[in-house]
Chains A and B, each alone.
Chain A
C-alpha cells in the first residue's frame, strides 16, 4: 500500500547560515503543450506571452510561464486560479487544440537563497549554474532527479521537484547546507 507520510508543511528548512532553504506554499501548476500555430492564441487565453527560447520566462501578476522545450511550457499560477485557467483554455480548445494538464499536486517548490546558494546546488547539479541567466530557468537534473530550476536573482533560486522525490532532495539540501555552514 502506498502511504504518503510527508506533509510538506511550508516553512524554513535551513536558515541562519550562508544559505537558506524554504519550502514554499502550494500553488497552481500546469503543463502546457501546443503547436506553433496555436501559441499566440493560447498565450492570450492564459494572459501572457509564451516565450519561444528554451529557458526563457514571462510573468504577468501571479502567473508565470517558462519554456521547457520547443512545444512545452510550465505555467505557475496562484493556488486559487486553476479553475479560471482551465476554463479559459477550454473555451478556445475547438479553434486551438492544445494540451493543458493540471500538475499542481505533482510538484513542490523549495526556495534556495544566500551567498552559498550556487555552491549548494552544485552538490547535485552538473550544469554550470553561472550560465543560467538571472530571470531564466531550465529543466535539469539534481542527483539523478529531474527538477525545474528557476533563477530569480544572483543567489536566489527556486527548485520544483516531484513530491515523491522531494524527501530525498530536501534531505540532500539540508545535509549540504550543514556542510557549507560548518
Chain B
C-alpha cells in the first residue's frame, strides 16, 4: 500500500480526456494508455480512467461492454471535488456507480481521517454517495459505525456526518476554560446514529472553584423534521432545566430558570411572498423573570408576514411588513405590527440602509408571541479595506456602531476596528442587563486561509478601552494544517468587558476543522 501513494500522485497528473485513447460513452468518457476491442467488449489498460459528471475514476484496467453499457474495474480510485475513494471493484451502469470494499477520505494526503465501507452506491448525476455498513476512523481508531451514510457533494464531511451545520467549523466537543471558575468536560459530544451523528451529549463541570459550581448534563437529538434537547443544571441551591421537543408543527419547550413552559403547535404556510403562520399553545411565563409575575393560560393567533423584493441593476429594495394577532383565555387580545424596509446598492462599494419599526397593542402574555417595540435606523458602508456600520435606536436614544479598516496582503489582513456606543449608559439590553458606553479600538491580524499541508499561522488581537484607559482584550490563535485537519488553539482574555454579554475572563479554545 505505501507504493500506492506515489503512484496515485502520478496517475492523476493526466486528465482522463487527455489519455492517448478515449471512448465517449453514455456512461461517461473512458480512456487509457491502450485499448483492445473484440467487437463487444472494450478493454482499456495502462492507466485506465472514466470521467463522468461529478467523478473521475482510475484503475489499472477498465472493461466496457458495449452491448450492456456496463463498465467494470478492479482496484479503483475515484476522485470527486471533496473526496477520494478507493474500491476493490466498481461497476458503472447508466447514472449509477456501485463499488465494493470501499475506503474514502477527505485528506489531501494519507488517510488519517477515513471511512471504510462494504459497499457504495454513487449517483453520477447528483454526486450523492451512500456508504453502506461504514466505519469512521481517525488515526486508524474506529469512532463510529453507520448503516447507511449519505455523502452529499455540496456538503462538507462534517455536515454529511451531522457534526456541523452549513459553513460552520467543527468545534471541539471538549471544554476547558476559565470563566468565574474552571469549566471542563464534554460539550455537545457527538453520538453516532444509524445514518449519521444524530445526537449529542453534554457533561460539564462549570465554575469549579467558585462559590456556585454547576454540573450540567445534556442530551440532544435531531432528525429531518424532529429535534429534541434537554439540559439539566445541578447546583448546590437546586437544579434548573432547559428543553425543547419539536415534531413538525408540534412542540414543547421549557426553561425552568425563566419560569417558561409551553406546549403547542405552529404551522407555516406561504404563497409567493406572503407567509401565514397560525399558532396555538398552553403556556406559562414569568413576565419579568421572577415568579411574582407568573402567568398561565391558553393563547391562539396568527402571524402574517409579507416579503417584497425589488432588484434593478446594483440596487435592491426589500419591504417586509408583519402583524401578530393573539387571543387569550384570560386576558385581552394582543396585537403587534410593524415592518422593515431595506435598500442596498452593490457596485464599486456597498451601501446598505434600513429602517425597522414595530409597535404593540395590549400586553403579550407569553414570550413566544411577544414582539418587542422597535424603532431603529441602521446602515452599513463598505469599500475595499473599509467598513462602517452604525445603528440608531430611537426608543433607547442610543447610537452604536463600528469602523473597520483593513490592509489586505497575500499573507493575510492587518485590521483595526473601532467599536463605539454613544448614550448607552444604563440602557437595558434584550437580556435584561444594563449597557454602558463603549470606545474600544481592536487591532488584529487575520492570516490567509491555510492552503498547504503542514502549514502554521498565528492570529493575534489586542484591544484598548479609551474610556477606562486600559487594555480591554487580547488574544492569540494558532492554526496548524496537516493532511486532514486544521487545528486551532487559542487563548483570549477579556480584561475590560465591553458589552453586557461579556464578562472579564480568560478562555482557552481548541477547535478542529476537517479540510
A and B from one assembly? no
Identify the A interface with B (CB < 8 A): none
